[in-house]
Structure 1
């Protein structure tokens, strides 16, 4: 899959080892209609399967990251749907990565440039690292519409910030800014708006300097241990970690550069 015209609702471009994905309905606050949803699913599958790219950077065009689902196109499917719809939706996450494609092993970095609401908030939560503009605003507004989050918003919030904070976000439906999101550990850092993409790209560059097998195994391990008993989680971590040591051919080479103090990007004194 290659880059598409600037008029497309989702822009997808591969620059070296990085896939740039931009939600591109700025007049609709990047709300995701059915066409966008289907295209995003194809894009994430392509990113997963293309060995030439290692990291994805997701952002929105305009003053919003994503305002959630375009209800004009989604609601007709939900209202009066047959009883089998929930079963069909289990493997069809919103915007591709909230469910179904949520176990892509490659890192995904979100540059949250503005409003991330409802399903758009859930898409941001499904990314591995979130960096927020000082202009970013977040909210789980579903309860205002007679719904509640159904694409990872409850599960991921409980895992990320704990039950009490998750309840505050989900049950009140109140918006909150980037600084509060950082205090609640929902974003890694908050930066001036005009530095957002540069900061996200610097994060991507930090990931790319590391060993690919190790990075992907580390992400996979982190997702695998969520919700497990401590003994089981420790066993999974050891099993997957030592499998990398035993099978990754670059380990010896990278250790040698460390011992010889020639490894690129090394921390002073380490």
Structure 2
């Protein structure tokens, strides 16, 4: 395992081809700050351009995943200045993080090792797979703080658990136990707290083993963008472009040859060289 980065509130570790991004303020239950927001965005920029990274695991240090926004400023925590560019409302920091994760070119697994509230849970919604500790709790607590949901969660949450559950959890603002989160589809599986990171890394490796990095990146993008498509015809067109441009690639020749020769493929196309635009 290799550790990189200089901001100790977010730790970036490498476990072979898997990058592990760890929220690292355990004395504050990993409460979220603006500095953490900007560092997370930087890290996802780094993992996107590093061809040695095939997938990203997002987790927390200590007994919590993330307690939500750091409330050190008390009642003024959510008093924000105007956006200097527009003179209007600034982009919420949680939304900036979730959009960056949404745009990731590598699969993302959220390993929720303990309680997750506010932005601590909404930042996990653009992850492709979420697993959690059997002691985790989840809180979309915004109405109990006089706020509204943030971090694009009114788009992501209904797509993950359905509109009825999303409204129930977001309007009521109650803490949701891990078993209910599993039953409603927020998380895929529950494991003991000391096994969450290891299990997430295992899932990440299963996800990328034997797959072409460029094809994996394009497939992830297709899946997420088609959630908002107006009709299956949009998907048909994008997939047709994808088959057309990837069909002549070295990766396809290698993938077919490896299959016929009954060996593991060695794909050469790199994500860092850029992806074709499938959404003409």
TM-score interval, normalised by the smaller of the two chains:
0.7 to 0.9
CA distance in 2, matches of 1:177, 1:106: 29
Change (3 A) 1:190 1:86: farther
Change (3 A) 1:169 1:142: same
SS at match of 1:69: coil
Aligned residue in 1 for 2:214? 213
Shift of residue 93, structure 1, vs aligned partner = 4.2
Summarize deviations over 1:182-224 as a string: whole Å, max 9, x none: 2211112112223222211111111231221121111000111
Change (3 A) 1:102 1:206: same
SS at match of 2:30: coil
1:34–1:73 CA contact under 8 A, matched in 2: no
2:97–2:151 CA contact under 8 A, matched in 1: no
Q: Which moved more, 1:49-58 or 1:165-174?
A: 49-58
CA RMSD in angstroms, aligned pairs only: 2.5
CA distance in 2, matches of 1:206, 1:74: 44
Shift of residue 30, structure 1, vs aligned partner = 0.5
Shift of residue 247, structure 1, vs aligned partner = 4.1
2:17–2:55 CA contact under 8 A, matched in 1: yes
CA distance in 2, matches of 1:100, 1:57: 14
- Number of residue pairs matched? 260
Aligned residue in 2 for 1:248? 249
CA distance in 1, matches of 2:123, 2:133: 16
TM-score (norm 1): 0.85
1:21–1:56 CA contact under 8 A, matched in 2: yes
Query: Structure 2: 5+ residue runs without aligned partners?
Result: 266-280
Change (3 A) 1:138 1:149: same
Aligned residue in 1 for 2:198? 198
1:140–1:174 CA contact under 8 A, matched in 2: yes
Shift of residue 72, structure 1, vs aligned partner = 2.9
Query: Structure 1: 5+ residue runs without aligned partners?
Result: 265-270
